[in-house]
Amino acid sequence: MRKKILILDQNQIKEILPLREIKKVIGRVERAFDSYGRQRVQMPAKNYLYFRKYHGDLRIMPSFAPELDMAGTKIVNVHPKNPEKGLATVMAVIVLNDAKTGLPLALLDGTYITGMRTGAAGGVATKYLSRKNAETLGVAGAGVQALFQIAAICQVRKIKKIFVSDINRKKITWLANQLKPLKIKVQDTSLKEAAGQDILVTVTPSVKPIIKKEWIKPGTHINAIGADAQGKEELDPVILKKGKIFIDDWTQASHSGEINVPFKKGIIREKDIYASLGQVVSGKSAGRRSDKEVTIFDSTGLAIQDLFTAELAYKMALKKKIGKRVDMID
């Protein structure tokens, strides 16, 4: 008996979930964090294969959500030098399986989903951890993920001004053009000015701190996104030590998040972590307690974010009859 698997390419995913509808993904990712905070999912920490000769790595990210009756596995690479070869830095595929039978349901392009769900995670963190009256946003790095972060944050806060810094000015021009359809404007600025806003997002591949402690004002919320592998860091460790740290997952954060280098040096210890974002979303832990606190969300990316987003894309594709269905033998 033959069963069919649905195949969705990147253009089809974009048709189903365009950037202007990132609010839908924010809702799904928020639900994923809630389920994780309530310990209702299975999610081993991501595994890495390091290709040191080529300055890249491959990550395998499985998860299972009983409430969806579905499991998902993402295989994703990060190769910072890929743009020199005309390739994306991050590329991914996601497989969805029916939990009842194990049957593969769908094979999806995961590159765009990774961008959307990471931006959505920044949006969720900003919703729960930034000041409610925050109205300015600074962004360090003008790559692809900056696009998703800005789009998501503008959905959860009334942002009036956006300041972006990048060593490559052409990237800021590209970012500004990408945001025009959303009627979002950005200003080219210095790293110092970007860091001095109500909300700061760091999305660079830096392996040394680029954000100085004296640039951060009281009440700032920081989404630390760029550090996603061993040895990467973007923030002066003093910012972490004096701020209120929220992680997505301890195992991943201590291994490859913003805290990974300070943790290995003994500057940051497990007891310095205030809570996970899942605990905050699920109501098990408080988030921001005052308008003067500096809050930091250390994002490493969770497999359940991919699963909940890919499940949404899969269901929408079935409803809209988008994608190619291929026979599989069971």
Could you tell me the domains of the chain?
A: 2-113+304-329 (3.30.1780.10), 129-302 (3.40.50.720)
Structure confidence at residue 172 (pLDDT): 97
CA 318 to chain centroid, in Å, comes to 26
Within the chain, residue ranges assigned H as helices are 10-16, 22-37, 111-129, 144-156, 169-179, 191-195, 237-242, 250-256, 260-264, 277-281, 303-320
The residues annotated as belonging to the active site are: 74
The CA distance from 58 to 235, in Å, is: 25
**Residue 328 has what pLDDT?**
76
Question: What 3-state DSSP class applies to 230?
Answer: coil
Report the 10 Å Cβ neighbour count for 144.
23
Q: What distance in Å separates the CA atoms of residue 235 and residue 222, rounded to the nearest whole number?
A: 10
Average pLDDT, the chain: 95
* pLDDT of 1 above 80: no
The values of phi and psi at residue 158, to 5°, are -85, 85
With contact defined as beta carbons under 8 Å apart, do 156 and 123 qualify? Answer: yes
pLDDT at 327: 84
Task: Compute the average pLDDT of residues 32-54.
Answer: 95
pLDDT band at 29 (very low <50, low <70, confident <90, very high): very high
Q: What's the pLDDT tens digit per position in 141-158?
A: 999 999 999 999 999 999
Asked if the model's pLDDT at residue 3 lies above 90, the reply is no
pLDDT cut 90: percent of the chain above it? 93
Given this model, what pLDDT does residue 305 score?
Answer: 98
pLDDT of residue 330: 60
Q: Which residues are within 8 A (CB) of 273 and not within 5 positions of it... i.e. 6 or more apart? A: 245, 246, 247, 250, 253, 259
Other CB atoms within 10 Å distance of the CB of residue 285:
15
Average pLDDT over residues 278-292: 96
Round to whole Å and give the CA distance between 227 and 209: 10
